[in-house]
A and B are shown apart, each in its own frame.
Chain A
């Protein structure tokens, strides 16, 4: 952990710590397609780090590399001061990295509460025999985990749909349930792939508020992908800008906004 630099304090007075995750020269190829080209950047403790860029830029691919769903063709991932060996996605999740998906991956057949409870699986330690025989301890554990799940449900204001099967919910609420499931894991790093995509203005405002509150109240480090420049500029501490698999900008929202390459990329998209 010694090679982590000092942190900094944001304009609104939040303390940002050292580097928790560092992507070093990541390249990702799918056959002939190069989704990510030699990208490096870091994520600091407690910050909201955004990845933006036009469609197909490679943002989701980058999130998938961080969460282990994709294995980079080249490059290294450093997590909490150590190089991460090749790991499966479930092992990375068990390390405290939770995520949501661009296309929502929920357990459609289960209720909202059951979905959120799956986020607690990594915190349940009783073995199968203990659960069957030694009811007391296992039950206490179940109750404690249930409490965390309920608190997350309250926090995200979805109490009214606790018992509803997720398959019946409208899109905006599904996105919120997916966030709830990720939060229930009490992650050290939370990865959100377009949490506001497809939402109306009001839903977007709610979601922005939740993301800020999560970061503020629990100090959770968040990396999020967003398509919409405006939203990102309000939310994030630092921004990585991608275009055609390359990193074309990295810095505070203000720095990025005034970066000529970024302006060109976005203008290019607008005039397509």
Chain B
């Protein structure tokens, strides 16, 4: 029995770690939604695009090489250099800022004041467009992303905890990458909180999230702030893309993590940063524990649907999410 308990603890910890990644993706949604009321369907594709760009830059891949080669009859594929990971991450962050600026300039700017559903449709269009651009730019094959993050089970933790259980327990299996992801996510969230609380731009961002008219009246440019939040969301997407890409390769399915963020948002509320974090952790832990405890009885694979059922229950009983304020219709 103590073995069972220790296994449960291990599952719990692993659930927390995968929850961190869900939280990261959900965070990207919350940032944009709060500041502009846009539900950005493209957040998942942004993570994919960021990861592909990072791999492309690191490998010295020639962007749009297929087009270039077919137009000019050349045979370019690689520049023949390799860019160090850190520099490549900075360059990719720059690309995400450029992307944010283009989105604002070419799309969102022209849709100010439109119905939320129209903004949402625009982001669906954006998602498919960006997906196509990613393929054209970097090719559609599965890529390996290795920026030097440690991977595989942590032997240290296994050794340290091996003594806890009986003969069947060999110690906790915890992936090094998950631990790194957790630390990085914690740093990112701390950074975001400090940014929004203590910098001029962060204050302006909160102001815009709260009231557009009032923000204008104190001299804040909405366009600037929207470019800023899309950039920050792009950076968050990059971090999420790095973690998922390192874990399971950079491929189309990476953009589907956005679908996992949806139940997280329903739990945490669409406008709450703590909600995104706690919601992510609850879903991460919930689906792993459910699979562990109930999965064997129902034939497994509960992880595919658990999050959605939980979200559905929330929608029915607490539609404002964990942290949202109860909405009472004014009459």
Residue positions of A touching B, CB distance < 8 A? 67, 69, 88-91, 93-94, 98-99, 101, 105-110, 114, 117-119, 121-122, 124, 126, 128, 131-132, 142, 181-182, 185
The verdict on B207 contacting chain A, using a C-beta distance below 8 Å, is: yes
Complex CA distance for A181 and B217, rounded to whole angstroms: 10
Looking at chain B's contact residues, is the secondary structure mostly helix, strand, loop, or mixed? helix
Contact B214 A90 (CB under 8 A): no
A-B CB contact pairs (8 Å), 8 listed: A90-B216, A101-B214, A105-B211, A107-B214, A110-B206, A110-B207, A119-B218, A132-B199
Stretch of B72-80, B219-227, B255-263, B313-321 lying at the A interface = B219-227
Verify A107–B211 contact, CB threshold 8 A.
yes
- Interface residue range, chain B: 20 to 34
Q: Judge whether B204 is part of the interface by a CB distance below 8 angstroms.
A: yes
With A90-B220, A94-B219 as known contacts, state yes or no: A118 contacts B207, CB within 8 Å.
yes
- Contact assessment for A124 and B213 in the assembled complex, using a CB-CB cutoff below 8 Å: no
The answer to whether A106 and B217 touch across the interface, beta carbons within 8 angstroms, is no
Chain B interface residues toward A at CB < 8 A: 198-201, 203-204, 206-207, 209-211, 213-222
Nearest-Cβ distance from residue B35 to partner chain A, whole angstroms: 13
Question: Separation in Å of the A153 CB from the closest CB of chain B?
Answer: 16
**The 10 residue pairs across chains A and B that have the minimum distance between CB atoms:** A93-B219, A105-B214, A107-B210, A89-B216, A94-B219, A105-B213, A124-B200, A122-B219, A131-B199, A90-B221
Task: Tell me the minimal C-beta distance from B45 to chain A in angstroms.
Answer: 27
Q: Is there an interface contact between B204 and A121, defined as CB atoms closer than 8 Å? A: yes
In the bound complex, how far is the Cα of B218 from the Cα of A93, in angstroms?
A: 6
B271, chain A: closest CB distance, angstroms: 9
- Chain B residues lying within 8 Å of A124, measured Cβ to Cβ, are 200
Interfacial chain A residues near B218, Cβ < 8 Å: 93, 98, 118-119, 121-122, 181, 185
Pair count A-B, CB < 8 A: 81
**Nearest-Cβ distance from residue A68 to partner chain B, whole angstroms:** 8
Closest B residue, CB atoms, query A107 = B210
In the assembled complex, which residues on chain B have CB atoms less than 8 Å from the CB atom of A182?
217
* CB proximity of B34 to chain A, nearest CB, Å: 10
Instruction: From B203, B209, B215, give the contact of A117 (CB < 8 A).
Output: B203
Known: A110-B206, A118-B207. A93 touches B214 (CB 8 A): no
State the Cβ distance, B323 to closest chain A Cβ, in Å: 13
Residue in contact with A106 in the complex, picked from B201, B214, B219, B222, CB distance below 8 Å: B214
CA distance A122 to B220 in the complex (A): 8
A98 to B216, CA, bound (A): 10
Task: Give Cα distance in the complex from A98 to B220, angstroms.
Answer: 12
Q: How far is the CA of A106 from the CA of B206 in the complex (A)?
A: 12
Smallest beta-carbon distance A63→chain B, Å:
11
> In whole angstroms, how far apart are the Cα atoms of A110 and B213 in the complex?
15
When distances are taken between beta carbons in the complex, the residues of chain B under 8 Å from A106 are 211, 214
Contact present for A93 and B211 (CB under 8 Å): no
A126: B residues at CB distance < 8 A: 200
Q: Which residues of A contact B206 (CB under 8 A)?
A: 107, 109-110, 114
Which residues of chain B come closer than 8 Å to A90, judged between CB atoms?
215-216, 219-222
